[in-house]
């Protein structure tokens, strides 16, 4: 016999009440862990989207490009792009290097001219390192050495153009002169942000460099790393190697650039925190009520224990121990239940509505995050212990003779 | 009778609020408890027997008066010190037995020792010894709800003896028992008082209990009216 076994026997003493309280705690636990697992899936999805939308794991550009927008074409361009690409590709941790040349221009089809936001890309690198080629729903993605372009469906609509139509692109070169080139629509991309869809135009990098008369120049370079590579370490290493080659570029990690991801993350964490707080309050109040009933029923027993020489603190901590044990048992039950529900949900392939910033719905896949399970377990144990403490302390401090006379 | 009392109360007063008129439960009681006493506190209901036992057993505090334990004024003791004193010096037997339902007979007896940080082995050995002394050796692992009233009270007596107290306070210990069982319990208390020299203070209005005691105090309306010697 020790305090733990006495506490456990008291928990088991009124099985129905303990089961109801434990069930409620387990329900809270399951809600918390499932929400955490779903949130983690959403974060992973958003992270993947951000990286594969062209940001890459690491991005290199002229230091000024990270601070402000260009006022003239390629004002902050990288002029030794070939050498920079070669240096990056040589690193064993690098999977794909995606150069990008960003500019604005005017596209004309028939009698209609519309401003566009152009991006010159390496078509093959984009295929490997980004999800942008997957947005092409009509036609095909770009091919090197061709004069085909991919435009947003919104822009095609504004131009009243279709696959195979010829377009004329007009853009300002870095020295301020105008240049034009003829291209053919090879693909139409489905972009779900209307404003972007009405301006989107992608073309092979050499074609863009020709149009802007800017050979070996790009705006920025995105780097996709191999699975296990450390973003921070590789970014620093590449930076050093570029410096050593005389190429002065600054770098940013995807998390620094993905403002939307960070905003959604903060929002989700806020929602999760709010939900967790509500659950803890519900668990607290119901446990408080249960402990109050238990303490009231055991008033005479408390008086007896005190008469036998138990100090008030010992009696109060006995109830706290009971609460903590019930919390722990409920957390164990909740863990098992949560794992079973997670398995069922993941096998059921339920489609969820698209999360913020995503065009398509996702198949639910709840992750098992040990930290969330640990946090939920600690929350439940602490909540039950605190909820048990206050009624127990009050009862343990009541006059002994009143407790002994309690009916 | 020893010259130095274990417990010495002087001018003990206690009142309870009840409606607009406070009830005077004790009106200046003087009392001494000596080692080896077998003392009956008798009197009708409401005479103040239980109140006096509560004060003597440090379960309650008097409104006024002094209570000395081994010559030390108990008024200066903190709540924790009072709890420790109850644990180390006193044993309690209640009318309704008051055993802890989740503990076995042996564990109920062991509980006061658990408070005293006695090792498990020592605790169980002493509990078995006491169970044997009260004739319940075979009930070591039985929970209170499976014991008869008499057996529960025997366990309660054994529990009261657990920490080798100087005084056992028994508040109407036979009130809930049939006469045969009550006699057996009184035999046991008498024997323990004699053999272990533990003072026993029994509140009762049962004449059979009074007959067995070596000292009798009669309380009436909160005052001691006689102290005949048995």
CA separation for the pair A9, B183 (Å, rounded): 34
CA separation for the pair A58, A161 (Å, rounded): 36
Which pLDDT does position B230 carry in this prediction? 45
CB contact under 8 A, A309 and B92: no
Q: Among A1, A300, A312, whose Cβ lies nearest the Cβ of B114?
A: A1
Q: Among B83, B107, B114, whose Cβ lies nearest the Cβ of A306?
A: B83
CATH number of domain containing B45: 3.40.50.300
Structural domain harbouring B216: 7-69+77-226
Q: In a 3-state reduction of DSSP, which class is residue B47?
A: coil
Are A315 and A377 in contact, with CB atoms under 8 Å apart?
A: no
Which pLDDT does position A240 carry in this prediction? 94
Which pLDDT does position B227 carry in this prediction? 57
Which residue reads 């339902």 in tokens? Answer: B101
For the sheet containing B215-220, what is the strand order? B90-93, B167-171, B199-204, B38-42, B215-220, B223-226
More reliable by pLDDT, A264 or A340: A340
Which pLDDT does position A354 carry in this prediction? 66
CA separation for the pair B136, B38 (Å, rounded): 24
Q: With 0-12 CB in 10 A as exposed, 13-18 as middle and 19+ as buried, what is B73?
A: exposed
Which pLDDT does position B133 carry in this prediction? 83
| Joined tokens for residue A284 | 């607290």
What DSSP assignment string belongs to B127-150? HHHHHHHTT-GGGTT--GGGS-HH
More reliable by pLDDT, A15 or A199: A199
Task: Kindly report, residue by residue over A270-310, the tens digit of the pLDDT.
Answer: 988 898 888 888 888 888 888 888 888 899 999 999 999 99
Which pLDDT does position A197 carry in this prediction? 92
CB contact under 8 A, B88 and A309: yes
The whole-angstrom distance between A2's CA and the closest CA on chain B is 8
The whole-angstrom distance between A317's CA and the closest CA on chain B is 14
Task: Kindly report, residue by residue over A236-269, the tens digit of the pLDDT.
Answer: 999 999 999 888 899 999 988 888 888 888 988 8
The whole-angstrom distance between A27's CA and the closest CA on chain B is 28
More reliable by pLDDT, A352 or B153: B153
Are A325 and A8 in contact, with CB atoms under 8 Å apart?
A: yes
CB contact under 8 A, A307 and B87: no
Question: Dihedral angle at the C-alpha atoms of A347, A348, A349, A355, nearest 10 degrees?
Answer: -110
More reliable by pLDDT, A358 or A353: A353
pTM as predicted = 0.75
The ipTM (two decimal places) reads 0.91
Q: Which residues of chain B have pLDDT under 70?
A: 1-3, 226-230
Task: Find the radius of gyration of the CA atoms of chain B.
Answer: 17
The total number of structural domains that make up chain B: 1
Beta pairing class for A112-121 and A94-109 = antiparallel
Which pLDDT does position A50 carry in this prediction? 86
> Which residues of chain A are within 8 Å of residue B118 when distances are taken between CB atoms?
none
CA separation for the pair A142, B62 (Å, rounded): 97
> Which residues of chain B are within 8 Å of residue A13 when distances are taken between CB atoms?
101-102
Answer whether residue A193 shows pLDDT above 50: yes
Q: Among A1, A312, A404, whose Cβ lies nearest the Cβ of B107?
A: A1
CB contact under 8 A, B87 and A309: yes
Task: Kindly report, residue by residue over A208-219, the tens digit of the pLDDT.
Answer: 999 999 999 999
Taking residues A325-329, report their average pLDDT: 93
| Joined tokens for residue A386 | 């605190």
CA separation for the pair A322, A12 (Å, rounded): 10
Taking residues A8-30, report their average pLDDT: 90
Decide if B1 is inside a domain: no
Which pLDDT does position B2 carry in this prediction? 47
Domain spans, chain A: 3-50+261-404, 63-248
Which pLDDT does position A295 carry in this prediction? 87
> Which residues of chain A are within 8 Å of residue B116 when distances are taken between CB atoms?
309
CB contact under 8 A, B102 and A304: no
Answer whether residue A41 shows pLDDT above 80: yes
Distances (CA, A) of A14 to A297, A299, B99: 11, 15, 17
CA separation for the pair A286, B5 (Å, rounded): 52
> Which residues of chain A are within 8 Å of residue B54 when distances are taken between CB atoms?
400-401
Task: Kindly report, residue by residue over A149-176, the tens digit of the pLDDT.
Answer: 999 999 999 999 999 999 999 999 999 9
> Which residues of chain B are within 8 Å of residue A9 when distances are taken between CB atoms?
102-103
Q: Which residues pair with B39 in a beta bridge?
A: B201, B215
Decide if B39 is inside a domain: yes
């Amino acid at each position: 016999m020790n305090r733990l076994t006495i506490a456990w026997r008291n928990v088991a003493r009124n099985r129905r009440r303990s089961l109801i309280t434990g069930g409620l705690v387990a329900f809270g636990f399951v809600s918390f862990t499932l929400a955490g697992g779903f949130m983690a899936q959403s974060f992973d999805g958003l992270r993947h989207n951000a990286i594969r939308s062209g940001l890459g794991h690491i991005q290199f550009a002229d230091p000024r490009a990270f601070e402000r927008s260009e006022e003239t074409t390629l004002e902050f361009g990288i002029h030794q792009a070939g050498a920079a690409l070669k240096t990056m590709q040589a690193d064993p941790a690098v999977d794909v290097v995606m150069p990008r040349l960003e500019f604005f221009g005017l596209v004309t089809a028939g009698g209609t001219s519309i401003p566009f936001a152009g991006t010159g890309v390496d078509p093959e690198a984009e295929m490997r390192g980004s999800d942008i080629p997957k947005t092409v729903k009509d036609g095909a993605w770009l091919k090197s050495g061709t004069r085909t372009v991919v435009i947003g469906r919104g822009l095609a609509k504004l131009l009243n153009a279709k696959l195979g139509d010829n377009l004329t692109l007009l853009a300002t070169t870095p020295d301020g002169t105008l240049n034009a080139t003829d291209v053919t629509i090879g693909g139409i991309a489905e972009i779900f942000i209307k404003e972007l869809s009405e301006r989107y135009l992608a073309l092979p990098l050499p074609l863009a460099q020709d149009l802007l008369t800017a050979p070996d120049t790009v705006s920025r370079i995105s780097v996709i790393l191999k699975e296990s590579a450390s973003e921070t370490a590789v970014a620093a290493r590449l930076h050093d190697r570029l410096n050593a080659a005389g190429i002065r570029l600054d770098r940013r990690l995807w998390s620094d650039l993905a403002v939307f991801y960070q905003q959604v993350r903060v929002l989700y964490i806020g929602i999760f925190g709010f939900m967790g707080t509500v659950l803890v309050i519900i668990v607290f109040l119901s446990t408080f009520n249960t402990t109050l009933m238990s303490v009231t029923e055991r008033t005479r027993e408390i008086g007896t224990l005190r008469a036998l020489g138990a100090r008030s603190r010992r009696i109060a901590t006995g109830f706290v121990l009971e609460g903590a044990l019930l919390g722990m048992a409920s957390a164990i039950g909740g863990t098992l239940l949560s794992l079973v529900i997670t398995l069922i949900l993941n096998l059921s392939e339920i489609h969820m509505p698209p999360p913020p910033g995503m065009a398509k719905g996702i198949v639910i896949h709840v992750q098992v995050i040990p930290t969330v399970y640990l946090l939920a377990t600690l929350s439940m144990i602490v909540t039950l212990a605190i909820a048990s403490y206050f009624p127990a302390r009050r009862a343990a401090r009541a006059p002994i003779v009143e407790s002994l006379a309690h009916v | 009778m020893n010259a130095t009392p274990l417990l010495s109360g002087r001018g003990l007063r206690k009142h309870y609020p009840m409606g607009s008129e406070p009830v005077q439960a004790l009106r200046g009681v003087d009392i001494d408890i000596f080692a080896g006493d077998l003392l009956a506190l008798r009197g009708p209901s409401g005479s103040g027997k239980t109140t006096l036992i509560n004060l003597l057993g440090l379960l309650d505090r008097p409104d006024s008066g002094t209570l000395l334990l081994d010559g030390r004024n108990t008024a200066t003791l903190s709540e924790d010190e009072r709890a420790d004193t109850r644990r180390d010096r006193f044993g309690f037997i209640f009318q309704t037995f008051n055993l802890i339902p989740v503990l076995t007979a042996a564990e109920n007896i062991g509980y006061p020792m658990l408070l005293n940080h006695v090792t498990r082995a020592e605790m169980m050995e002493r509990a078995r010894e006491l169970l044997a002394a009260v004739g319940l050796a075979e009930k070591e692992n039985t929970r209170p709800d499976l014991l008869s009233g008499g057996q529960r009270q025997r366990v309660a007596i054994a529990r009261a003896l657990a920490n080798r107290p100087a005084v056992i306070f028994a508040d109407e210990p036979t009130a809930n028992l049939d006469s045969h069982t009550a006699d057996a319990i009184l035999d046991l208390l008498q024997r323990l008082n004699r053999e272990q020299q533990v003072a026993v203070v029994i509140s009762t209005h049962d004449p059979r209990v009074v007959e067995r005691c070596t000292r009798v105090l009669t309380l009436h309306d909160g005052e001691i009216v006689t102290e005949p010697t048995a």
